[in-house]
């Protein structure tokens, strides 16, 4: 039976005062289990008919029942049936009018967008699966790490444990492997607080990559927003089905929480795996293409993601899909936060213009169900006006690309320029701004903790490659080296790639220590990329998204210099934790007492207050930075950081600061091995600082 109704135009999205999104008709979409069966609710404002297709439990091509859904208002179609129970595979079929922007086909089997489970059918087909989702959390709650104590660690579920010798073979590269005691101990020994995972929503590989016998390793090609990627589960869980896969994921979260570690998910709500028109029609395109994707009047897609399509969050249904997915992962799966890929796309209005007060962006922050959840925006996309760093609203953190570029320039490309020309292109001023929390990017209301500082990330060079290659080497990606950025601000220190030159290798190691020291001693929230703590290389590939191989899996057999680097990172994270002056919550204001800020005083190499001429002089690249905490309770903490950005050794006179009688050396980037406590010096003493190096003192 086919039920036909007129079209309902999608409504612009608006925020509800309580923090959610309007249209209560959109509540409880998907499959909701009950005592007498299950109710399935699907939204499609342009459809003429929607039907539920139920399959045999073992033969995913055998249709056992077809049930029409009835329109119940607001574009929602619904049916209640006893045929849906945990483990049942199903699909939906949607038919509707032809015309610009519509891509209905009543014969196409589609994934129900809110499904919690998936099973593959044939080579490229999928079936939704009913999942109960029950799980015993054993009373384990979220760690709720304060922002000022947070140290993010970005990694890939598979790549983290795939080669770890202490993780059992059957668990390597899986959710269970990530939560194995050997991995947990690594996180704890390193000192990070929050593990940020590359996409774990179910995803698929693009046909173009399959033609090159490559794979989408990173996972930025989402198939469904409610289902964990089954390939990351153990073989046993995959055999048992979607319920077991979800249970393994929740078990991973529980074990990490027991250890006091947070779980942050990298989420890709800006586009889907359906690509551009002519690509796969697996779910949203077949349900209501006109309402779910941004497009011109003639149906041509407006692609601001570079991936073929862009989710149209200016409509209620698309915005609620995102919000409901976040609620599910935060409440039912207990994850602690989200990093939003190409987040500017989510904040574009009906005219496709970014607005910081977009109803969806506000709802994500204001929704009571998401209270306390960390929200991190990648503040750009590839559309017009796509770069928006610093423009997201209160409650949002943002990847700080200005920080990345400034730090790389100071320690790498500026040094390269000085070697080639005999002069530095820029002084120390821009780096000082980044050390102090990027107040020129984030306003006083948001403070330094709005910025996620990073030097490397999953995309781009690893830390080791950043100091070892002048240019990318991406031929293995199958695009004739055209992919990946050319603006790396990297420096090979005298040889491209592998070398036996001791001088080059020594300079590279110190450069890595300088980059890591800057990252972990700066105000803001630091993000460390997995493997950088021991200098992992990808052989110069700065866009290794398509390699599921030892190239991208973390190696755990380390040379002595790598173990030394690891100890430096441990030491730096511990120093950050022990010295609140390095991690202020707020920006200090001149002449005012600002609680939980850090008073910052700047001196030159002679121990004199920095002059305007010194700040603007490109040849002046030595700085002393005294930060004093202003705690709301407890004692104040004070540190001195010396930054020297030329390759010549220099004599530095330690500043005479009121209340300081001695300086105790805590860390030096010039040391191959970190030391727990160095020599003591008095204000006015002169210390020798090696070329391109940093020193951290405790001021007492």
Please give the Cα distance from 48 to 107 (Å, whole number): 13
Alpha helices in 191-258 (DSSP H): 207-211, 235-240, 242-258
Give the chain's radius of gyration (CA, Å): 27
∠ CA 514-520-522, rounded to 5°: 95
- If DSSP codes are grouped into helix, strand and coil, which group holds residue 214? coil
Please give the Cα distance from 416 to 424 (Å, whole number): 9
Select from 332, 337, 262, 280 the least CA-distant residue to 116: 332
**Which one of 378, 416, 465, 548 is the catalytic residue?**
378
- One-character DSSP codes across 603-662: E-TTSPBPPHHHHH-TT--EEEEEEEE--SSS---EEEEEEE-SSS-EEEEPP--TT---
Say which residues have a Cβ less than 8 Å from residue 330's Cβ, sequence separation at least 6.
Answer: 369, 370, 373
Please give the Cα distance from 102 to 334 (Å, whole number): 37
Select from 539, 452, 528, 458 the least CA-distant residue to 147: 452
Q: How far is CA 455 from CA 417, 461, 539, 632, in A?
A: 19, 10, 18, 31
Is 606:413 a contact under the CB 8 Å cutoff?
no
Q: Assess whether 378 carries a catalytic annotation.
A: yes
Please give the Cα distance from 330 to 265 (Å, whole number): 10
Please give the Cα distance from 405 to 234 (Å, whole number): 39
Say which residues have a Cβ less than 8 Å from residue 310's Cβ, sequence separation at least 6.
Answer: 270, 271, 293, 294, 301, 302, 303, 304, 345, 348, 381, 383
- If DSSP codes are grouped into helix, strand and coil, which group holds residue 332? helix
Q: How far is CA 12 from the centre of its chain?
A: 29
- If DSSP codes are grouped into helix, strand and coil, which group holds residue 61? coil
Phi, psi of 249, deg, nearest 5: -60, -45
- If DSSP codes are grouped into helix, strand and coil, which group holds residue 419? helix
21 strand-pairing partners:
15
Say which residues have a Cβ less than 8 Å from residue 352's Cβ, sequence separation at least 6.
Answer: 294, 302, 304, 383, 384
Decide the pairing of beta strands 337-340 and 374-377.
Answer: parallel
Q: Assess whether 416 carries a catalytic annotation.
A: no
**Which one of 262, 312, 324, 341 is the catalytic residue?**
341
Say which residues have a Cβ less than 8 Å from residue 401's Cβ, sequence separation at least 6.
Answer: 379, 380, 389
Q: How far is CA 672 from CA 257, 276, 564, 571, 690, in A?
A: 34, 51, 7, 13, 13
Please give the Cα distance from 490 to 315 (Å, whole number): 42
Q: Of how many residues is the chain composed?
A: 700
Please give the Cα distance from 163 to 614 (Å, whole number): 49
Q: How far is CA 42 from CA 32, 50, 127, 133, 192, in A?
A: 12, 8, 16, 20, 41
| Helices 316-327, 359-366: inter-axial angle, 10-degree rounding | 20
Is 512:463 a contact under the CB 8 Å cutoff?
yes
Place of tokens 């002519």: 278
Instruction: Show which residues are catalytic.
Output: 341, 378
């Amino acid at each position: 039976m086919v039920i036909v109704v007129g079209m309902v135009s999608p409504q612009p999205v608006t925020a509800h005062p309580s923090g959610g999104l309007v249209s209560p008709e959109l509540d409880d979409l998907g499959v909701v289990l009950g005592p007498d069966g299950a109710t399935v609710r699907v939204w499609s404002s342009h459809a003429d008919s929607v039907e539920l297709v139920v399959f045999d439990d073992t033969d995913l091509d055998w249709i056992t029942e077809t049930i029409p859904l009835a329109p119940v208002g607001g574009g929602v179609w619904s049916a209640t049936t006893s045929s849906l129970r945990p483990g049942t595979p199903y699909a939906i079929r949607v038919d509707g009018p032809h015309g610009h922007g519509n891509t209905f086909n009543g014969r196409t089997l589609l994934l129900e967008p809110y499904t919690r489970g998936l099973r593959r059918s044939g080579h490229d087909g999928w079936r939704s699966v009913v999942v109960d989702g029950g799980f015993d959390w054993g009373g384990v709650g979220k760690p709720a790490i304060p922002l000022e104590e947070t140290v993010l660690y970005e990694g890939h579920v598979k790549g983290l444990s795939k080669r770890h010798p202490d993780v059992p073979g059957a668990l390597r590269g899986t959710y269970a492997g990530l939560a194995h005691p050997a991995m947990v101990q690594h996180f704890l020994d390193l000192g990070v607080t929050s593990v940020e995972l590359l996409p774990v929503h179910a995803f698929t590989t693009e046909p173009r990559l399959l033609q090159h016998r490559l794979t989408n390793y990173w996972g930025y090609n989402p198939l469904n927003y409610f289902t964990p990627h089954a390939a990351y589960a153990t073989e046993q869980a995959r055999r048992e089905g979607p319920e077991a896969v979800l249970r393994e994921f929740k078990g991973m979260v529980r074990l990490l929480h027991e250890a006091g570690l947070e779980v942050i998910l990298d989420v890709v709500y800006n586009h889907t795996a359906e690509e551009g028109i002519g690509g796969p029609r697996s779910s949203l395109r077949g349900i209501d293409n006109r309402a779910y994707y941004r497009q011109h009047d003639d149906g041509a897609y407006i692609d601001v993601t570079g991936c073929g399509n862009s989710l149209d969050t200016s409509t209620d249904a698309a915005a609620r899909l995102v919000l409901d997915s976040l609620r599910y992962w935060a409440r039912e799966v207990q994850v602690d936060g989200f990093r939003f890929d190409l987040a500017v796309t989510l904040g574009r209005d009906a005219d496709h213009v970014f607005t910081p007060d977009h109803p969806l962006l506000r709802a994500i922050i204001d929704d009571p169900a998401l209270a306390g959840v960390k929200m991190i925006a990648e503040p750009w996309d590839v559309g017009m006006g796509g770069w928006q760093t610093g423009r997201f609203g209160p409650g949002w953190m943002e990847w700080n690309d200005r920080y990345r570029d400034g730090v790389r320039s100071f320690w790498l490309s500026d040094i390269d320029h000085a070697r080639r020309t005999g002069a530095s292109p820029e002084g120390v001023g821009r780096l000082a701004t980044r050390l102090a929390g990027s107040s020129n990017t984030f306003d006083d209301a948001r403070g330094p903790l709005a910025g996620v500082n990073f030097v490397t990330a999953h995309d781009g060079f690893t830390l080791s490659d950043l100091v070892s290659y002048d240019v990318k080497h991406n031929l293995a990606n199958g695009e004739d080296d055209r992919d990946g950025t050319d603006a790396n601000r990297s420096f090979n220190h005298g040889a491209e790639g592998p070398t036996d030159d001791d001088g080059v290798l020594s300079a590279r190691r110190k450069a890595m220590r300088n980059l890591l020291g800057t990252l972990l001693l700066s105000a803001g929230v630091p993000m460390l990329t997995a493997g950088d703590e021991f200098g992992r290389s990808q052989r110069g590939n700065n866009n290794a998204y398509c390699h599921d191989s030892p190239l991208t899996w973390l190696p755990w057999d380390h040379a002595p210099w790598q173990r030394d680097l690891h100890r430096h990172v441990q030491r730096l994270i511990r120093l950050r934790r022990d010295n609140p002056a390095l991690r202020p919550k707020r920006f200090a204001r001149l002449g005012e007492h600002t609680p939980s800020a850090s008073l910052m005083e700047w001196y030159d190499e002679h121990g004199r207050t920095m002059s305007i001429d010194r700040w603007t002089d490109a040849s002046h690249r030595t700085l002393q930075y005294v930060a004093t905490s202003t705690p709301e309770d407890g004692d104040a903490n004070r540190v001195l950081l010396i930054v020297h950005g030329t390759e010549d050794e220099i004599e530095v006179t330690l500043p005479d600061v009121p209340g300081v009688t001695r300086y105790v050396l805590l860390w030096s980037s010039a040391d191959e091995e970190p030391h727990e406590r160095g020599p003591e010096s008095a204000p006015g003493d002169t210390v020798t600082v090696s070329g391109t190096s940093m020193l951290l003192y405790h001021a007492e």
